[in-house]
Amino acid sequence: MGLKEKSIDLRRRMRNALRGGGEKAIQRQKAIGKLTARERIISLLDHNTFHEYDLFVEHAAKDFDMDKKYLPGDGVITGTGMIMGHPVCIYAQDFTVAGGSLGWMHAKKITKIMDHALKLKVPLIGINDSGGARIQEGVNSLAGYGEIFYRNTLASGVIPQISVILGPCAGGAVYSPALTDFVFVVENISKMFITGPEVIKTVLGEEISMEALGGARVHCETTGNAHFFAESEQQCFDQIKNLVSYIPWNNARKAEKFPKKRPNSKKYKIGNIIPSVPREPYDVRNVIRAVTDDSSFMEIQELFAQNIVIGFGRMDGETVGFVANQPMVLAGVLDVDSSDKAARFIRYCDSFNIPLVTLVDLPGYLPGVDQEHAGVIRHGAKILYAYSEATVPKITLIMRKAYGGGYIAMCSHHLRADFVFAWPTAEIAVMGPEGAANIIFRKEIAAAEDPDAFRKQKVEEYKEKFANPYVAAAYGYIDAVIEPSETRKMLIRALDISKDKEVFLPAKKHGVPPF
């Protein structure tokens, strides 16, 4: 064959490989609102930036007549591209080819692109759509998963890892997304579970649909396994692009700097957000939007453990990670789920050089048998650990209540916040005035002629003495008491002066956090 014939042969081979599982299988996927694996990659990446590799990889399985089957690309597409100008490595499982099931060569394609991502220090994006371990390939499929999990762990904290669940992700396969930093799901399309409805019915006699067991909403609202919920694949890709704009490519870089913008101070008037009545709820996201550039805020895990708010915003063009108690939900208490949610985010920001701003308004840890038995001690400790260990700039603002363990946990000076500010409305005490007066004056209240009036008087005395920022400020635990209107200016100054912060922790292989 001359070059011309060889080129024709190459194009024929490419056409063959590019047809995936064939028109019928593709139409079956389209009918349920899914794009093909290649369409997904093209939609997500910047125009014309996808370079595909390993198109001609084939499986090497022999059993169960596999040697007679041709599986184009072995059911997974891999390559490199750009998102918002950021280079990325990407793979997408192709459900039209043997249900996107993971055999040995399929896994080798994924691990090869993972190795590239780690070596080139660029984010890794995995689009999961698979029936799980390829049954015909037995232990080799399991080995493939093990190789992926190992690499997910090595890459953790070095490059951002993003998982997109766009179909089934069942059995042990779910552990790759679980080991990555951000999991995106789409309503009616994403399904994640360890054991599916059939197994649950056989073993436990319980009937449940796939959606109710492990659909997108369940993982965003209940389990916390997913971080972003979308109603369509296109919306999901827009969310990924937005996320990528906030984070650095790897742990040796800083996030890209954007042009500075002012917040929308007409819509978000910071002085009016906190109600004048002490216990009244308000939406802490309005405080965040009142201080960020363009009032933009990308919330993460918006539907899970809503008593704490986490996410990214920019201040003077630079990415900031926000952690804020949400007084609108459970008065903003810390509990098992909110501690998990915040601790993981703090560690992410610390790994990727993103400074942390913490907004405090909470009555403490949530009391109750449920919480105690669910391990609020163990889970609550995670947030203490994460803040203490974090060496990125840490700026804290106490807006209203900072009681008890909550005061310490929400990035107090004692956990090495660099700057702690408080509004004049801040109340820093061991507990709320009512609870405190009831405990320390119990005997006197019981003996009083008018116990109610006496209790009220003692509550007032306690409030007068402790429900303010000045006792803490007198000990230097608060660096400055500031007017709400000064907040953005003070935060930006503090972030600016902390840019070259250096902290050296004791040498160790790694700590032993309360996982």
Alpha-carbon distance of 244 to 254, in angstroms, equals 12
Residue selected from 42, 55, 84, 142 as contacting ligand HXC according to rule CB under 6 A: 142
Going by the DSSP 8-state scheme, the letter that residue 102 receives in this structure is B
Residue 126 engages ligand HXC in binding (rule: CB under 6 A): no
Residue 469 engages ligand HXC in binding (rule: CB under 6 A): no
Of the candidate spans 45-53, 82-90, 171-179, 323-331, the one that interacts with ligand HXC by CB under 6 A turns out to be: 171-179
| Beta carbon of residue 174, minimum distance to ligand HXC (angstroms, whole number) | 9
| Beta carbon of residue 225, minimum distance to ligand HXC (angstroms, whole number) | 16
Residue selected from 8, 10, 18, 135 as contacting ligand HXC according to rule CB under 6 A: 135
- Strand pairing partners for 480? 421
Q: Which of residues 100-119 bind ligand HXC (CB under 6 A)?
A: 101
Quickly tell me which residue has 């201040």 as its tokens.
315
C-beta closer to ligand HXC: residue 173 or 305:
173
| Beta carbon of residue 142, minimum distance to ligand HXC (angstroms, whole number) | 5
Q: Which two tokens stand for residue 81?
A: 């591209």
Residue 176 engages ligand HXC in binding (rule: CB under 6 A): no
User: Is residue 273 packed enough to be buried (19+ CB in 10 Å), middle (13-18) or exposed (0-12)?
Assistant: middle
Residue 172 engages ligand HXC in binding (rule: CB under 6 A): yes
| Beta carbon of residue 115, minimum distance to ligand HXC (angstroms, whole number) | 20
Positions of E strands within 326-438: 356-362, 394-403, 419-422, 427-429
Alpha-carbon distance of 98 to 77, in angstroms, equals 14
User: Is residue 12 packed enough to be buried (19+ CB in 10 Å), middle (13-18) or exposed (0-12)?
Assistant: exposed
C-beta closer to ligand HXC: residue 172 or 278:
172
Residue 173 engages ligand HXC in binding (rule: CB under 6 A): yes
| Residue pair 396/410 in contact by the 8 Å Cβ criterion | yes
Q: N- to C-terminal Cα distance for the chain?
A: 61
Of the candidate spans 76-84, 127-135, 248-256, 265-273, the one that interacts with ligand HXC by CB under 6 A turns out to be: 127-135
Residue selected from 81, 99, 224, 263 as contacting ligand HXC according to rule CB under 6 A: 99
Nearest Cα neighbor of 403 from 377, 365, 373 is 365
Binding mask of the shown chain, residues 237 to 256, with x at each position contacting ligand HXC by CB under 6 A:
--------------------
Residue 168 engages ligand HXC in binding (rule: CB under 6 A): yes
In which element (H, E) is residue 319 found?
strand 318-325
Residue 214 engages ligand HXC in binding (rule: CB under 6 A): no
| Residue pair 34/230 in contact by the 8 Å Cβ criterion | no
Residue 179 engages ligand HXC in binding (rule: CB under 6 A): no
Q: Which two tokens stand for residue 179?
A: 């080991």
Of the candidate spans 110-118, 129-137, 332-340, 424-432, the one that interacts with ligand HXC by CB under 6 A turns out to be: 129-137
Count of alpha carbons within 13 Å of 251, Cβ hemisphere only?
16
| Beta carbon of residue 118, minimum distance to ligand HXC (angstroms, whole number) | 21
Phi and psi at 154, nearest 5°, equal -60, -40
Residue 194 engages ligand HXC in binding (rule: CB under 6 A): no
Of the candidate spans 169-177, 318-326, 330-338, 422-430, the one that interacts with ligand HXC by CB under 6 A turns out to be: 169-177
Encode 248-270 in three state secondary structure.
Answer: CCCCCCCCCCCCCCCCCCCCCCH
| Beta carbon of residue 229, minimum distance to ligand HXC (angstroms, whole number) | 21
- Encoded amino acid at 158, one letter: V
Residue 197 engages ligand HXC in binding (rule: CB under 6 A): no
Residue selected from 72, 123, 132, 355 as contacting ligand HXC according to rule CB under 6 A: 132
Nearest Cα neighbor of 310 from 292, 298, 319 is 298
Nearest Cα neighbor of 233 from 20, 30, 26, 22 is 30
User: Is residue 32 packed enough to be buried (19+ CB in 10 Å), middle (13-18) or exposed (0-12)?
Assistant: exposed
Q: Which two tokens stand for residue 273?
A: 């957000």
C-beta closer to ligand HXC: residue 110 or 333:
110
C-beta closer to ligand HXC: residue 168 or 393:
168
Of the candidate spans 163-171, 269-277, 293-301, 345-353, the one that interacts with ligand HXC by CB under 6 A turns out to be: 163-171
Residue selected from 171, 177, 363, 393 as contacting ligand HXC according to rule CB under 6 A: 171
Binding mask of the shown chain, residues 291 to 330, with x at each position contacting ligand HXC by CB under 6 A:
----------------------------------------
Residue 60 engages ligand HXC in binding (rule: CB under 6 A): no
376 contact partners, CB below 8 Å, separation of at least 6: 335, 336, 339, 365, 366
| Beta carbon of residue 427, minimum distance to ligand HXC (angstroms, whole number) | 50
Of the candidate spans 59-67, 132-140, 244-252, 262-270, the one that interacts with ligand HXC by CB under 6 A turns out to be: 132-140
Nearest Cα neighbor of 301 from 246, 243, 383 is 243
| Residue pair 137/103 in contact by the 8 Å Cβ criterion | yes
C-beta closer to ligand HXC: residue 32 or 512:
32
Residue 290 engages ligand HXC in binding (rule: CB under 6 A): no
C-beta closer to ligand HXC: residue 192 or 399:
192
Instruction: With CB under 6 A as the rule, give the number of residues binding ligand HXC.
Output: 15
Q: Is 31 left (phi over 0), alpha (psi -120 to 50) or beta?
A: alpha
**Within its chain, how far is the Cα of 51 from the centroid?**
28
Residues that bind ligand HXC (CB under 6 A): 98-99, 101, 131-135, 142, 145, 168, 170-173
